[in-house]
Amino acid sequence: MSKQPDVFKPLYKPAWLCVCDSRILELLAKFSGLKLPAIPGSDLTAQLFDNVIKPDDKVNVIGGDKDVIDAVIARYGLTRLAHHQPPMGLRRNPQAIDTAAQFIVDNPANYTFICVGSPQQEMVAKAALKRGDAKGLGLCVGASLDFLAGKVKRAPKWMQKTRLEWLHRLTSEPGRMWKRYLVEGPKIFLIWFKWRKCHRQNKRQNKP
């Protein structure tokens, strides 16, 4: 996000709610004296399906393989799920983003789960919001449905609690996840260090 603020910041600004998806960021915030509880998208999605969504609720899913959709439908007995699968390269395909947004408008639902990765899913959400006539609650949840469907196995609870879920995902899918967790992810420590340094300087300057 720090390297592409022109891409990410406008996507998050109109969101009704943004939550922290990272237990590592939660820990860094704690070291800084800030309270930033982690709410992983996978946990939030599971809670919604387990405790809130009813079988006859209207549900949209943008993205996700057909076998994943079929497994989620079977697991929760969903009777009114509509699925749209955008093409690859969505981020650089404005027409496909508009088509996905139009699908959300044309299929009014209680819940719309957008599962095409970041920042593509936020682009779809913003496009749908911009139309002004989209209904229901839209959530950008990445691979959360893959976990519910059993396609991808989540880390054991002890790894989640000890903030090692990233290690489980890396060892489970090294070819797909190595760049995220070994190249992109560690940049958060430099961002945090720069923020903390700037924050301390501002505090000293503002002292009477």
pLDDT in tens, 80-105: 999 999 999 999 999 999 999 999 99
CA dihedral 34, 43, 159, 67 (to 10 degrees): -150
Q: What count of Cα atoms within 13 Å lies in the side-chain half-sphere of residue 77?
A: 5
pTM: 0.89
Please tell me the number of Cα atoms within 13 Å of 135 on its side-chain side. Answer: 9
Q: Would you tell me the crossing angle of helices 23-31 and 187-205 to the nearest 10 degrees?
A: 30
In tens, the pLDDT along 24-75 reads: 999 999 999 999 999 999 999 999 999 999 999 999 999 999 999 999 999 9
CA 32-35-41 angle, to 5 degrees, is 115
Do 111 and 139 form a contact (C-beta atoms < 8 A)?
yes
CATH 2.40.70 is right for the domain spanning 5-155:
no
